[in-house]
Amino acid sequence: MSIYIDTPIQYIKGVGPKLSEVFRKRGILTAGDLLHWYPRAYQDQRAANNISSLQVGQTVSVKGRVLRVSSVPMGKSTRRIHEVLIGDSSGRIPCKFFRTPYRGYFERFKVEQEVRVTGKLIEYRGIKQFQHPTIEMISGEEPEEDALIPLYTETDGLSPAKLKKIINTVIDQLIDHPEVENKERIVGVPDELPKWIKSTYDLLDRDKALKYIHQPLVDQAASYFNFEADSQKRLIFDEFFWLELHLAMKKAGYEKARTQPIVNDKKMLISQLLKKLPFTLTGAQERSLQEIYEDMKNPHPMHRLVQGDVGSGKTLVALLSALYVIEMGYQATIMAPTEILAEQHYQNAKKLLEPLGVQVALLTSQVKGKKREQICKYIQMGEFQLVVGTHALIQEDVIFNKLSLAIIDEQHRFGVEQRSLLKHKGDEPHFLVMTATPIPRTLAMTVYGDLDVSVIDELPQGRQPIVTRSVFENKRSKVFEFLGEQVAKGRQAYIVYPLVEESESMDLKNATAEYENIQKMYPNYKVGLLHGKLKSEEKDQIMRSFKRNEIQILVSTTVIEVGVDVPNANIMVIEHSERFGLSQLHQLRGRVGRGTHKSYCVLMLSYQSSQEARDRAQTMVQYLDGFKIAEADLEQRGPGEFLGRRQSGLAGFKLANLVRDMKILMQARKAAFELVSKDPFLQQNQHQSLKQQLELKYHHYVG
């Protein structure tokens, strides 16, 4: 029986119904899916490594015998640390596991059994070790011809030898010896990439790339380890290219749409506001504003992202952008993810813009009945030139008179549909989105590649640096003594916990229990409790009380990560900081340091903290610059985790890595945008299969 790219996995020789279910759980349904299950690493059996020769930081392969298999509890939790101790004539090395790969994994190891271990060697507390390596049994002599062996994610019910045999069967019939011709089926492996792109960037044909990723060439061993083999480069290019093509098509769609150009050379209202400010704009703010003003002079709508660190002055840039269109007789709107943030923007706008004669409205779910009806009536009449609000802005009864600029704050908190609804409140309005999560340039290109990007990378003058310290649990009493001293001086404090309530599976302090302890510790001060299980109205009320200094100490979970501005709060203590990522820690720290008082952030670490967690804490101590922290975060966690799974496209990267493969990303981006500039609607015959695949992958109709 011939194999085609869409042949169901169960009909491939050696699979059958039972094994096909194992593949199905891995998301592998067809022969094509199997070819795209890439090796996670390669094992070089030519290397004559012994344990004493191993170097920290290397990904290595070593033979040895099992000396001991053991497990110990992890702290007070029910979880366990498993260890397989391996030895040879030169020494011994522990293999640590913090989770079980699959049921029965450790029971299969017997003392004195010969095994091969492959993984990255690290050093933790002065001890060299492997963490979650691949351990394979050796039975008899290892064959010489398998000098470079692909390693796949271990799967219960599927041995590495069996998987390799099935993949080789597919390669043989689909790539090496495909059916000569079949008018009803796709023969071989389709390659949608135009010849000129493959030639320009010296890329392998797709079928050869898929063959050699699974059947690596021994003479290119070093290239495979460094992800520089020709087969890897082609498949990495493909992953980037499809996403960049999707973004290039979206951008072309924006530029195709027509809108009324807004030319405001006088900028009288802007000049009046700048004269009243007690400070001057930073160079980064001025640069961003100039980019925004130039965009709005164009006959197609602006789609721009303004990204800047916490406290960098994005809100002022938004208000000055709104003034640009308001002065020319248009309306602007700002949509924020929470009521309290919307209210904060509203108060700032009233204070700065109403003295200039600009009428500002606030529209949230709390505005109801006749008051809402009246506000909506005045919005439709054009009486309100700036409307600030939450999701309430996208309700059907909100009709703008001449909406020209839509601004979204913390845009990652809104879905695509919500952003689209706001956009359709006007006739192709200009679109400005803001984020306080600094994103490295390479990542911004990939996630926001359809947007032009402005970066505010300077903090306003007078902002005091936040003193950051990392301490272990034995210093807790001194930390809380210092916190008490600050509150006694009239300041306010945040204490953040990773959990709302006690958990049986995790030995961690939690906000609810510690709230009671903190109350006893500081009986003379008002202590508040804030967490995600509270209703929105309760959360907003607590934050308002904290802002008015009716609460002096706020015990909280990460719900304060993006929140209200409290200039009087100058100290933050983050318990179990090892449980938080760098981005979260940076956002939390940004809640303090907003006033004139010297501010502090203390990262509390438990003794069980991993080396990675300690490194994160040290990064926070070392850097205040959010962009430097973002670069470190990207390197430590990789792009998928950095952005979260909601960001479409990145979850589909199987091989590509934005840090390691930046050069290939730039090539793929250049190729995709050049292709769209040559053929904006992918109408040429040579691009038809490309067009079909794009529509399948991203549900992106190319019309």
User: What is the tens place of the pLDDT at every residue in 123-154?
Assistant: 888 889 999 888 888 876 555 445 688 888 87
Give the residue from 662, 659, 622 showing the smallest Cα distance to 642.
659
The single-letter DSSP state of residue 300 is S
CA angle, 634 as apex, 314 and 57 as ends, to 5°? 155
Looking at the DSSP assignment, which residues form a beta bridge with residue 602? 469, 573
**HSE (side-chain half, CA atoms, 13 Å) at 410:** 16
| Domain 466-623 grouped into CATH 3.40.50.300 | yes
User: What is the tens place of the pLDDT at every residue in 470-496?
Assistant: 999 889 999 999 999 999 999 999 999
DSSP-based three-state secondary structure for 566: coil
Looking at the DSSP assignment, which residues form a beta bridge with residue 88? 91
Q: For the domain covering 46-141, report its CATH number.
A: 2.40.50.140
The region of weakest confidence among 325-329, 499-503, 605-609 is 499-503
Q: 268-276 and 339-353 are packed helices; what angle lies between their axes, rounded to 10 degrees?
A: 100
Q: Give CA–CA dist 227/237, Å, rounded.
A: 12
Contacts 24+ apart (CB under 8 A), 473-482: 473/604, 473/605, 473/606, 473/607, 476/604, 479/573, 479/602, 479/604, 480/521, 480/573, 482/571, 482/600
Q: What share of the chain is helix, strand, coil (3-state, %, to 5)?
A: 40, 20, 40
- Asked if residue 465 lies in contact with residue 625, where contact means CB atoms within 8 angstroms, the answer is no
Work out the number of other CB atoms within 10 angstroms of the CB of residue 42.
18
What does the pLDDT read at residue 144? 47
Q: Give CA–CA dist 624/619, Å, rounded.
A: 9
User: What is the tens place of the pLDDT at every residue in 649-691?
Assistant: 454 688 888 778 889 999 999 999 999 999 988 888 888 888 8
Looking at the DSSP assignment, which residues form a beta bridge with residue 454? 306
User: What is the tens place of the pLDDT at every residue in 102-117?
Assistant: 888 899 899 999 998 8
pLDDT level of residue 501 (50, 70, 90 thresholds)? low
Looking at the DSSP assignment, which residues form a beta bridge with residue 499? 510
pLDDT level of residue 645 (50, 70, 90 thresholds)? very low
Q: Give CA–CA dist 500/556, Å, rounded.
A: 8
What does the pLDDT read at residue 199? 96
What does the pLDDT read at residue 255? 79
- Asked if residue 318 lies in contact with residue 434, where contact means CB atoms within 8 angstroms, the answer is yes
Q: Where are the domains of the chain?
A: 46-141, 190-256+661-703, 268-288+298-456, 466-623
Give DSSP secondary structure letters for 224-290: HHTT-SHHHHHHHHHHHHHHHHHHHHHHHHHHHS-------SS-HHHHHHHHHSSSPPPHHHHHHHH
Give the residue from 90, 77, 85 showing the smallest Cα distance to 579.
77
Q: Which homologous superfamily is 268-288+298-456 in?
A: P-loop containing nucleotide triphosphate hydrolases (3.40.50.300)
Amino acid at 11: Y
Q: Which residues of 344-357 are buried (b: 16+ CB within 10 A; e: fewer)?
A: bbbebbbebbeeee
**641 pLDDT more than 70:** no
**Two domains, one topology: 268-288+298-456 and 466-623:** yes
Q: How far is CA 535 from CA 237, 409, 512, 530, 541, in A?
A: 46, 22, 16, 10, 10
What are the structure tokens assigned to 566, written together? 């409290």
Work out the number of other CB atoms within 10 angstroms of the CB of residue 206.
21
Give the residue from 577, 212, 29, 297 showing the smallest Cα distance to 220.
212
Looking at the DSSP assignment, which residues form a beta bridge with residue 115? 64, 137
